[in-house]
Amino acid sequence: MAKKKIQAECKIDQDDYPTLESILSKIDALSPDTPSFDLLIPDRMTFRGRPIWREFQAVILDRLLSKGLVPVERKERAKGKFFKFGRVTIDPSTLRTEPPPIDPVERVPALGPLAKNTTRLHPRRAFFPDLAASKLGGTFLWPRSEPWPRCDDPRHQTIRRQRRLLTDGICPLLVGVVQLNARDFPEIPFRRGADLLQLLWCPAPEAVHDDAYFPKLFAYWRNSKKVNDPLSAHPLPDYVDGMFNYFPVSCQFFPETVKEFPGPAALYELPEDNEIHKVRETDEDFWSLYQFELSTCPGTKLGGHPCWSQGDDAPVCDCGREMEFLLQLFDWEYTNTDDHQRWIPLADRWALKKWRKNPAAEAALRPPYFEFGHTAYYFFICPKCRERPVRFVHQR
Ligand SMILES: [Zn+2]
Ligand SMILES: [Zn+2]
């Protein structure tokens, strides 16, 4: 009897929650030139009849972005977060890195041959209709004839915690993370016949895929000229994580090429008599500057040297060769922002003190609205294997 009563109460409560579907259709009904919009994103909602928390917030932000609307104000309310949305324009010329305060090669000539160029991608929230464009999140060029993929890991349907199936027994629909087009980034070793690299992942970091709490990566290589009847939009995700967020809000790239040098972890392997070691031991000021402002750039970037937060951890391909660094994806673009700000474009620095309360500031520092706990994913590729395997490494 008591059990029945509880069930009935739950049902009543759940029926009172707004549905995600109704919020999204309200957004869809907005005219494309709506100048502003107010919305309470509730803490509790239902989606496809199941109760959900705030975890689908990124899906709502992404849908509003398709109308050109971004959050400009945010206030906590008893039942959720109240947002004011408006329109902002991005000035790409402000997304530029300051020159280094000193030339590291002048101080340590042995660094010269270790320099590499990286392409900072400077993602910024934007919705744009070009399906084949290079982008973070957003809609990928995907043939309608190819069903949108789900995770292939059968453990979604078998692993339980406290009697509950992790991910509710769903093999989640994959989430589009990054699409790279050869016309923008010819330096990527594309698979033969392909001009698009599409990286998707299963957005469930719970202990399904491995012992570690990571999403699972799926790389697709595609020839854009062969896609004649593309999907106009991806299906909505049917699972997102409650603690972290692996569903990106659509971002456009504003690439910039910057010179960088290996991070400290990669230098430890140099021979003991290398000049760099001597400088490290004797010139504390230079070494500190080197680590934080001269060596590797944090944030989302293509190629160059990985900005490891721990030791060097490049994976080895099944063919036995060390894989090549392809892409770095941070949730928050910048780390260690207290004393060292060279990698933060001047125009973004205002956001450092404002992001806790100002969603526009937060968007400058955390463009895709990812949340991995202030950490990074490092993607690697084997340019020697015909299949061009791609793998990621995660560091906290
Ligand atoms: Zn999965
Ligand atoms: Zn290989």
Could you tell me the distance, in angstroms and rounded to a whole number, from the CA of residue 322 to the centre of ligand 2? 8
C-alpha distance from residue 274 to each of 15, 308, 371 (Å): 68, 22, 39
Could you tell me the distance, in angstroms and rounded to a whole number, from the CA of residue 384 to the centre of ligand 2? 5
Could you tell me the distance, in angstroms and rounded to a whole number, from the CA of residue 38 to the centre of ligand 2? 51
Per-residue model confidence as pLDDT tens digits over 99-155: 999 999 999 999 999 999 999 999 999 998 899 999 999 999 999 999 999 999 988
> Which of 3-12, 31-40, 308-317 has the largest mean confidence?
31-40
Could you tell me the distance, in angstroms and rounded to a whole number, from the CA of residue 387 to the centre of ligand 2? 8
Point out the ligand nearest to the CA of residue 151.
Answer: 1
Once rounded to an integer, what is the mean pLDDT over residues 163-192?
A: 92
Once rounded to an integer, what is the mean pLDDT over residues 165-181?
A: 90
Could you tell me the distance, in angstroms and rounded to a whole number, from the CA of residue 49 to the centre of ligand 2? 45
Residues 287 and 279: beta-carbon distance below 8 Å: yes
Could you tell me the distance, in angstroms and rounded to a whole number, from the CA of residue 207 to the centre of ligand 1? 10
Could you tell me the distance, in angstroms and rounded to a whole number, from the CA of residue 214 to the centre of ligand 1? 9
Residues 300 and 319: beta-carbon distance below 8 Å: no
Per-residue model confidence as pLDDT tens digits over 359-369: 999 999 999 99
13 pLDDT band (50/70/90 cuts)? low
Q: Give the model's pLDDT for residue 337.
A: 66
**Residues pairing with 160 in the sheet:** 165
Could you tell me the distance, in angstroms and rounded to a whole number, from the CA of residue 292 to the centre of ligand 1? 35
Residues 114 and 260: beta-carbon distance below 8 Å: no
Could you tell me the distance, in angstroms and rounded to a whole number, from the CA of residue 382 to the centre of ligand 2? 5
Using DSSP, how many helices (H) and how many strands (E) does the chain show?
8, 19
Distance, in Å, from the CA atom of 313 to the CA atom of 307, rounded to the nearest integer, reads 11
243 pLDDT band (50/70/90 cuts)? confident
Is it the case that residue 11 has pLDDT exceeding 60? no
**Residues lying with their CB under 5 A of ligand 1, a single-atom ion:** 151, 153, 202, 204, 216
Q: Tokens in use for 149?
A: 């993929």
Distance, in Å, from the CA atom of 383 to the CA atom of 180, rounded to the nearest integer, reads 16
Could you tell me the distance, in angstroms and rounded to a whole number, from the CA of residue 191 to the centre of ligand 2? 12
Of 242, 206, 238, whose CA–CA distance to 54 is shortest? 242
